[in-house]
Amino acid sequence: HKSQHNRSPKMSKKVAVVTGANRGIGLAIVEGLLKSGECSHIVMVCRDQKAAATIAAKLTTKACAVLVCAADVTDDKVGSTLTAFLAKNTGDRCDILVNNAGILKEHDKDFLHGTLDILRKTFEINTVGPVKLIQAVLPLMKKNKYGRIVNMSSGLGQLSEMGGKYTAYRISKTGLNAVTKIVTAETKDFDDIACNSMCPGFVKTLLTPSNMTHASKTPEEGAATAVWLALQSGKSMPKGKFFRDKKEMDW
């Protein structure tokens, strides 16, 4: 019984945190987690508190409270803002973290024409943001001996298939994949903590540049793999892997 006690979150409903959660794939991830019936709390981390609060009120059920933590992933205090929010509202727990917030700038061009400003802004949100949030919640996951981290990456960050264009975005997502591997290595002694990357495919959202006319997936289809990874359990669950459509990809 001792091991069950040490892994108490496994026996109860989960507390999930999703960034960039008030629209597109992020909102679809919140809805997917809600439908699973596995969560007692889902925390939407968003900049626009007003818009998110309206959505959260509509989504909240008797079984699962959908809450809003107003924070910007570019803020250096985002981690402490989130942990203070979790301490107050979820009993100091974060069982699932989905790093979904991301940007793809319309003027993110080929290598020689990419500006350093776009590179810095893209990296700050797509790579540094997830680092800050993982650094904030991983101690809670370690304390509770349970955690699922899902990093929203992209096939454009795949080194084995690396091409041109979208320079800043590609570099930022390759960096995020490195984060997945580093966190996996540093949590190897925790059986019930898993960190994975995933690519949603080309989803038609507000983030999609107008020239990406082949974006055909719905946000729900793009969110499915993230929800699936967030709810993985058992000894055979993936750790430190890269997925698209629930299938493993090469790095």
Q: How confident is the model at residue 209 (pLDDT cuts 50, 70, 90)?
A: low
Q: How confident is the model at residue 153 (pLDDT cuts 50, 70, 90)?
A: very high
**b/e map 94-133, b = 16+ CB within 10 Å:** bbbbbbbbbbbbeebbeeeebeeebbebbbebbbbbbbbb
Q: How confident is the model at residue 207 (pLDDT cuts 50, 70, 90)?
A: low
Which pLDDT value is given to residue 208? Answer: 52
Is 52 a residue whose pLDDT tops 80? yes
- Give the mean pLDDT of 215-227: 87
* Residues 6+ positions from 150 with CB-CB distance below 8 Å: 96, 97, 98, 99, 195, 196, 197, 198, 226, 229, 230
Does the global pTM surpass 0.85? yes
Per-residue pLDDT tens over the stretch 19-31: 999 889 999 999 9
Q: How confident is the model at residue 185 (pLDDT cuts 50, 70, 90)?
A: very high
Residue positions counted in the chain: 251
Which pLDDT value is given to residue 4? Answer: 41
- Give the mean pLDDT of 42-62: 94
Per-residue pLDDT tens over the stretch 89-111: 999 999 999 999 999 988 888 89
Average pLDDT over the chain reads 91
Catalogue the active-site residues.
153, 169, 173
Is 6 a residue whose pLDDT tops 60? no
Is 148 a residue whose pLDDT tops 80? yes
Which pLDDT value is given to residue 2? Answer: 41
